[in-house]
Chains A and B, each alone.
Chain A
Amino acid sequence: MTKHSCKAGQFLKNEQYAAWHDETLWIVREKRDKMARAVPEWEKLRERASKIKEHTLSELDNYLIEFEKQALKNGAQVHWAADAAQFNQIVYNIINENNASKVVKSKSMLTEECGLNLFLETKGIEVTDTDLGERIIQFRNEPPSHIVMPAIHLKKEEISELFHQKLQTEEGNFDPAYLTTAARLHLRQKFLEAEVAITGVNFAVAETGTVVVCTNEGNADMGAHAAPVQIHCMGIEKIIPGIVDLGVFIRLLARSATGQLITTYTSHYTGPKPGGHMHIVIVDNGRSEHLAKKDYLNALKCIRCGACMNTCPVYRRSGGHSYGSVIPGPIGSILAPHSQIKTSSDLPFASSLCGSCSDVCPVKIDIHDQLYRWRQDLSEMKLVSPGKRYAMKIAGKILSKSKMYDCLGKTARYVIKNLPHKLIYNRFNIWGKGRELPEVPKESFKQWYKRTYQEKGG
């Protein structure tokens, strides 16, 4: 069993909790279905979004240059980071140049990917995540378990206990309205104190030099409006060509993510506020290398809606933390091997290849096909366990020769039929852990066919 498979097994030990996790995310999937079905042209939208991304990725260099040109014209400062280390340093330098020590940050998977919080904290900067879910997991010192709902693995009782410790709320009071009010008051103070606000970016419009940030809590705006310095962090793949394209994605994003028509806030940042400074940091961190891999290119279309997680029967039953990658779930399983092949070589196997992820994806990423392709590539690179590869080699030999196959089939049926139950259901029989083996028939179909048609001359 792989690392992820073991962790998933751990996750499932608490059956009630696992059922709750599965059901909670399934409800989000159902909300998404309802919203998507209310848009008759849904499939056309997906196709359009996929094509826009395909086109953009094919001319990414030009669009990035156009974006930078426009952003500069708007008065923003643009920085380029080749990797996570450069990115962290650039952000730190901006903070440092402004003699700041208190930073608020709205949700950004890119900063998670680059380990920005940790980097800034070691430099003595106080970073406060202002998305409620992010703040909760920051208090708990753990990574997000979902890219849209980072604290979805926690029940309100656990949050009540956490807030009691961190924010001195009443013990045992887990009324959501009470707890969110406490969080608001706490965060309000952080917003007022912050000297720098960091946000992620959902879309960057090349034509206008605008960055677009979608939130439900308005926390990105609160930060960017109150702090004198705002920093927007984006991967190079966030670019879309024009403002008309934005509508396509905005219609897909919230419906796919949470089953909302639109996020409460869709904020366009086109230039600095009067007297303020606006920085945009554009990060590569392995993306251009990924861009060169034709078979995997589509994964760069991802708009981080998380729909593939909500629909994935394996994710729902293993939890985001079991993946051990910044982005969990199906999309995480095809992204992670690009940057961390050795530590994530088990992830492309974390799927029954049911294909639900590809059908739910608003930008039509061929997720399950990429999982399949990764399996082949990982095996070629010898990053699949030698035992498994050897077993498949043997299976390949047997199944290519009918005589050997017939003979071994007969033996296997004999063994299952005649060995005592206890010997068959031993600890090496993983199938038998939770299932009975099929009842063994007295003859195979082939034997029946020969007996029925050949011996009778039929």
Chain B
Amino acid sequence: MNQTYNLQIGLFIPCYIDQFYPQVGIATLELLHKLGLDVHYPLKQTCCGQPMANSGSEKEAVPTYKNFIRNFCQFDYVVSPSGSCVYHVREHYNILEQTDEVKKVRKNTFELCEFIVDVLKMDDLKIDYPHKVGIHQSCHGLRGLKLGTSSELVAERSSKVHRLLEKAKGIEIINLDREDECCGFGGTFSVFYPDVSVRMGKDRLNDHLRNGTEIITATDMSCLMHLEGIIRRQKYNLKVAHIAEILNSNSL
């Protein structure tokens, strides 16, 4: 492997990606390698703790937070294919004692796209992707990590995900009627609010169908897990692919 950066990267693969979508983890790892990075995957990692915290049990999540810190405090950067988990680490690890290690991990944990754009300062990954792609703007990435400008704000429009995809050869990025409405996953919301959650998902999918999307992508596999579950149940003619899978189809 050709290492062009003198950086030690810790790869965080969220629990549900680890268990259900290993191909997303593999794509992330391969992409980071292609980008010339020295990537380490600590084997004792588990989860960021968000499922407990979003349900109101943030105290029960503290041992999981500590496990995360233990696994990742030695790296220059922690990179993860999940905006939501990264947001959780940055925003909600504030209840831990703010030791140097905790502060370092909170500061240096990055979502994959923002790591590529903001840290590596790259946006053209030499991708060939001749497909009609609908971008689902996962909320925690968009509004939490500010990977882009949310439609509510009056500011210059920007989106790191768009920046990375726009350069892809042959790609057609689909414009949606509602550019960044939530898909309805919301972690445990998806099971405590099944009717609203599924309805929100169906509405998002119909927006994509109406506008000609073939493949829906997002920075969070959790949104896509929920949407794919509905696609398969409803037999919609749509596919999902995590952004890492698209970015890894490059020729770097």
Contacts and interface: CB of A to CB of B under 8 A. Distances in A.
Interface of A: 1-2, 5, 8-9, 12, 18, 22, 26, 33, 36-37, 39-40, 42-43, 311, 313-314, 317-318, 349-356, 358-360, 372, 375-376, 378-380, 384, 388-389, 391-393, 395-397, 399-402, 405, 409, 412-413, 430-431, 433-441, 443-450, 453
A441 B23 contact: yes
Nearest to B190: A431
Nearest to B229: A435
Given A22-B203, A37-B154, A359-B150, A349 B192 contact: yes
- Leading 7 A-B pairs by shortest Cβ distance: A352-B186, A435-B229, A396-B60, A434-B198, A379-B56, A400-B63, A445-B25
B109 to A, nearest CB: 17
B20 A2 contact: no
A437 B229 contact: yes
A43 B187 CA distance: 30
Given A352-B182, A352-B193, A434-B233, 4 more contacts: A392-B56, A405-B47, A430-B191, A444-B18
A311 B152 contact: yes
B22 interface: yes
B155 interface: yes
Given A12-B199, A436-B233, A375 B47 contact: no
A12 B194 CA distance: 11
Contacts of A399: 15, 46-47, 49, 51-52, 61, 64, 67
A389 B233 contact: no
B193 A396 contact: no
Contacts of A350: 193
B3 interface: no
Interface string B140-179: 1001100000111111000000000000000000000010
B40 to A, nearest CB: 10
What bracket does the count of chain B residues touching chain A fall in? 35 or more
Contacts of B20: 413, 438-441
B18 A445 contact: yes
B55 interface: yes
16 contacts: A37-B154, A352-B189, A355-B139, A355-B140, A355-B144, A356-B143, A388-B55, A396-B60, A412-B19, A431-B194, A434-B201, A434-B229, A436-B228, A438-B225, A438-B228, A453-B41
B60 A375 contact: no
Contacts of B44: 402
B52 to A, nearest CB: 5
B21 A352 contact: no
Contacts of B101: none
A439 to B, nearest CB: 8
Given A352-B184, A435-B233, A438-B20, A392 B199 contact: no
Contacts, number: 229
Interface of B: 13, 15, 17-26, 29, 41, 43-47, 49, 51-64, 66-67, 92, 139-140, 143-144, 150-155, 178, 181-182, 184-187, 189-201, 203, 225-226, 228-230, 232-233
A40 B154 contact: yes
Contacts of B230: 434-435
Contacts of B193: 1, 5, 8, 314, 349-350, 352
A402 B225 contact: no
A254 to B, nearest CB: 16
B151 to A, nearest CB: 7
A34 to B, nearest CB: 11
Nearest to B195: A9
A430 B194 contact: yes
A405 B44 CA distance: 10
B200 to A, nearest CB: 5
Contacts of A401: 46, 67
Contact of A434 (B13, B18, B194): B194
A356 B182 contact: yes
A45 to B, nearest CB: 9
Contacts of B45: 402
B67 A400 contact: yes
A336 B88 CA distance: 26
B52 A402 contact: no
A1 B194 CA distance: 9
Nearest to A394: B60
Nearest to A413: B19
A392 B46 contact: no
B21 A441 contact: yes
Contact of B152 (A359, A397, A409, A440): A359
Contact of B18 (A396, A409, A453): A409
Given A351-B189, A402-B44, A405-B15, A12 B195 contact: yes
A13 to B, nearest CB: 8
A449 B115 CA distance: 22
A448 B15 CA distance: 14
Contacts of A453: 41
Contact of A352 (B46, B152, B185): B185
Contacts of A5: 192-196
A301 to B, nearest CB: 17
B56 A445 contact: no
A318 B196 contact: yes
Given A26-B178, A375-B56, A441-B21, A436 B199 contact: no
Contacts of A39: 154
Contacts of B151: 33
Contacts of B196: 5, 8-9, 12, 314, 317-318
Contacts of A356: 139, 143, 150, 152, 181-182
A313 B182 contact: yes
Contacts of B152: 33, 311, 356, 359-360
A396 B63 contact: yes
A396 B52 contact: yes
Contacts of A8: 193, 195-196
A397 B49 CA distance: 11
Given A354-B186, A355-B139, A435 B198 contact: yes
A9 to B, nearest CB: 4
A447 B26 CA distance: 11
Nearest to B16: A438
Contacts of A26: 178
A167 to B, nearest CB: 36
B61 A396 contact: yes
Most-contacted residue by chain A among B184, B197, B198 (CB, 10 A): B197
